[in-house]
Structure formats: C-alpha cells, structure tokens
Amino acid sequence: MPRSSLLVCAAAILRATYSLAAQGTDSIVELRVDASHPGPTIDRNIFGQFAEHLGNGVYDGIWVGKDSTIPNVRGIRSDVVEALRALHVPNVRWPGGCFADEYHWRDGIGPAGVRKTTVNADWGGVLEPNSFGTDEYMDFISQIGSEAYISVNVGSGTPAEAAAWMAYMTADPATSAGKERAANGHPAPYRVKYLGIGNESWGCGGAMTPDYYVSQLKIYARFARNYNPMQSGDQAMRRIAVGADGSKTDYVEAVMRAWHDKVWSWDIEGVSLHSYTSAGWPPAHPSTHFGDSEYTAFLKDALNMEGLIAQHSRLMDQYDPQKKIPLVVDEWGAWLAPLPGSNPGFLVQQNSLRDAILAALNLDIFARHADRVRMANIAQMINVLQAMIMTDRERMVLTPTYYVFRMYAPFQDAALIPVQVDAGGRRSGALPRVDAIAARDTHGKLWLAAVNLDPERPVRIRASFAGTSVRIARGQVLTAGHVDSVNTFDSPRLVQPVPIEGAASAGALVLDLPAKSVSVLQVQP
C-alpha cells in the first residue's frame, strides 16, 4: 500500500479513537482475562480450507496448467501458493462438497491425453477436464505446506473404488497400486491425514436416511485403509463421518450411537457439521452495496454458530463424555447471492469487511469450544463463496477474510485463555458490542483478539489480566470506511490491516477499537 494510503487509514483510526472521549463511559467495555488458568488447545485445524471443483475455485484459482504464462510450478499458480503459505494452512478439504459424491478418482490420474472429460452436474453443468486430480492436489498441498483431507465418493461410488483410491495414494511402491502411482511421478506413498466418508449424505450426497448412512459408514471405514507405514500413532489417519445439517441432530445421533455401541470393530475420529450464514434460504442477500441493517442481520445469523455447536456438543457428550470424537465444522462461512452477470452455479460473491468480521466471530466461537471443535473448513479457499483469494487470469487479490486468517495465525495450537466480557459488551436487542478471545501460543506469548461489532461507534476496552503483568500490547487492526468495503482488482488494498497499540493504565490494558473492526495483539509484560 502506498504510504499516503496508510496515513489516511491511520488518520481515520485516530479520529475514531479521539471521539471516544466525547462518548462517555458507556463506550468502555471491561474484559477479564484469566491467564492463570489456561484451557484446552485451540487446534490449528480449525483454520482449515476447502477447495471444491466448483466454478473457478480449482481451475484458474489453483491450476493454470504447466504451459500457462501465469507463473506456476508444475501448473499450480505461484502467487496463490505464496499467499497461502503465509496463512500456515493446516489442511485442505478436496474434491468436494457435492462434487465429491460424483467424483471418480481414476478420471483424474495419468497423462493428460488419457484423462476423461466429464460434466460437472452439480455446479453449472460445465465440462470437467480432470486436469487437476490426485497427484496435482497432493503437489498443491505440499507446496503450501498443508495436510490432505480427502472426501471419498459414497453417493455414486463403491467401497471398492474408495479402497482402490486409498491404495493408490498410500500403498507400498512394490504393490500394483504403488507402481501405478510411481509411474505417474510419485513413488513414495502419500500422506492422507484426514478422510471424509461421504459429504452431506443427508442431501446432495444421496439423500440417505441416518441408519442407511451408518450402514455405509461401517463398510467404508473398514475397507478404505491407509497403508502408509509412516502414519501410525498420533500421525494415523482420522476418519470423519457425515454429521449435522445445521440444527438437525438425526445424523449426529445415529453416528454417535453406533460409535458408542461399537457396532463396528474399527473407529471414526470425527463427525461433521455444515452450517452457512445466509440470513435466509435460498441465499438472496447481496455481497456488495448493502447497509447497516443487512450487516446486523448477517452477524446475528453468524452468532447462531455458538448455539449450534453447544447443541451438538451436548448430544455428543451423551455418548462421548470424554470428548474423544471432535466436531468437525468442515463447511462454514457466508453464502450470499451470486454476483450479477456470473454463472449462478459458480457461487461467485464479493468479500467485504462484514465478511471478515463474520470470519473472526466464527473463529472465536470455535476457539471457545476447543474441547470439542478441533477442525473446521471455511467455504471456500479461492473464487467461491467466502474466499481467501480472488483471481482473474494473471491478477490476484487478497480478501478481507484472508487478512483475518493471517492475523489469527498465532492462535494455531495455542492454549485458550478464559475471557469474560462484562454486560457493557452487549447492546440490548441487537449485536454484542465486543467479542474477544485470548490464548498463549506455543512460544509462551500471550495474544488477544477483539472484535468491535458496532458498525458506527468505536469502543474502548479495559482488559484486566489475572496471572500475568501487562505493560503494552501491539498488533494489527482490520477496518475500513464502510461495512461493505471490498478489495477489487483495481483497488486491491482498500481493506487491509494497519498497526494498533494499547498500553497499561492502573493495572489494566486500555485499547481503543475502531468501529466495525477486528484486532489481534500480542500482550507484553
């Protein structure tokens, strides 16, 4: 960003800060942070991503081909890889989504000339060239330093197909499957850390009853083996069952009952939850040119995630009081109306400051439920729904949501620190004024994230810390002139973080938060 633009942003934040003095003590929100009683670990996997064969999420977003003039490594665009590496992406869910239950993995391996061209019936009815398949996906996650989260085809596939795919990816090079993998350029077994057994089997994945799905789950969990000898103990593959559609509990109940009653002799290691923020269905709210009323409605809907997780956690506790099985929120985010002029099946939407705040609130909720929520995947990574990145041929832009994920990186695998926000942190009948979490990272550093949800008014927080001394806090704040501010290819840096600082006063940290903002700071003694 040019220095002049940074100065404009900083001046706007300072004006908001100085206006606090005229607003009286009702603009002060008290936080109590108990650093003496660290809680559960905030699993880094809650910052997972999702890349489905949908619109330009994979093609043009990740894959441009080896002959492209866009800089790439083996067909995977280099600018996207560099941006994602900065997020420390823990896992990438692929190939879907609804697409997964129509995906046949053999269509996407081998030389380009032998790969099948199929139709993507789920998303826009466009041709699927299968140029990006298993080996390209594994190359991609290796380049960004991530782990594989594979969704196998339960809807239109077979257990034999899933088992053969796992053998292709993980079997010894001396086996026939391993030799085929080696012939395609990768002799060593791949590492498959997470295996999703179906996707939305209650809907696009086959409209199965819970009991029928459990009957399939038992078969797939048994025969879709991971043969990689390096994946044992803590590194063993985790199998994730289809779970909740929003507030519906029937799948979670059936899966957890079967797990508890040991109706199979093997195991699962996760149950999914899918829940989008749309403020009504089908999604009809615009992603641009909206006002404070739509902002408020959307964030109120986003905050429902807290109740959903609590609801499903209580049900899971009945069968798993020791919380061995994580709740995996592997589809979440803002689902808005497609941008005018785009293919409706491509789910193209803009990404605003409002959406960044929505992302921060969800990450805060996942962190507060770290004892049960140990994995999540925002939908989706590039060019689709609430994306981190948007591309247009050779151009790339980072969205406000991208910056939230980058700002929150210190919370990966950090120990949750309890935070209480006083009653002044809520506005009657509307949104909370402030949401906050704290954590101590793996290096012992203390971090505070604070969201000012008020679209118009800055707020001063005064945070007292038990169990540690506080001298100063430094970090970044993300805000902009309007709730619907977005980054575009012509103005790619309109919404990006700028420095923020707070200092101790009378034994507490005092920090001024601009309206509609997300702040993440390191708290220093």
Task: Catalogue the active-site residues.
Answer: 200, 331
Letter for the amino acid at 21?
A
C-alpha–C-alpha distance, residues 126 and 115, integer Å: 16
Please state, as a whole number, how many other Cβ atoms lie within 10 Å of the Cβ of residue 176.
Answer: 10
Give, for 218, the enclosing helix (H) or strand (E): helix 210-223
Strand partners, 250: none
**In angstroms, rounded to a whole number, what is the distance separating the alpha carbons of residues 456 and 464?**
26
CA–CA gap between residue 65 and residue 77 (Å, rounded)? 8
CA distance 361 to 31: 17
Q: 327: part of which helix (H) or strand (E)?
A: strand 327-334
What is the DSSP code string of 49-81?
EE--SSTTSSBTTTB--TT-SS-EETTEEHHHH
* Axis crossing angle, helix 304-319 with helix 353-368, rounded to the nearest 10: 30
Structure letter (DSSP) for residue 412: T
3-class secondary-structure state, position 238: strand
- Assigned token pair, 366: 């996942």
Burial of 58 (0-12, 13-18, 19+ CB in 10 A): buried
Helix count (H) and strand count (E) of the chain?
11, 25
Say if CB 382 and CB 389 are below 8 A apart. Answer: yes
Q: Are strands 192-197 and 270-277 parallel, antiparallel or unpaired?
A: unpaired
Report the relative pairing of strands 459-466 and 28-34 from DSSP bridges: parallel
Structure tokens at 61: 């977003």
| Cβ neighbours of 115 (radius 10 Å) | 17
Cα separation, 129 vs 69, whole angstroms: 20
| Beta-sheet pairing, 517-524 with 498-505 | unpaired
Across 1-135, the runs of DSSP E, i.e. the strands, are 28-34, 41-42, 49-50, 72-73, 76-77, 91-94, 118-120, 126-128
For the chain, how far is it from start to end, CA to CA, in angstroms? 32
Q: Are 472 and 524 in contact (CB under 8 A)?
A: yes
Return the SS3 of 126: strand
Interatomic CA distance for residues 361 and 345, integer angstroms:
28
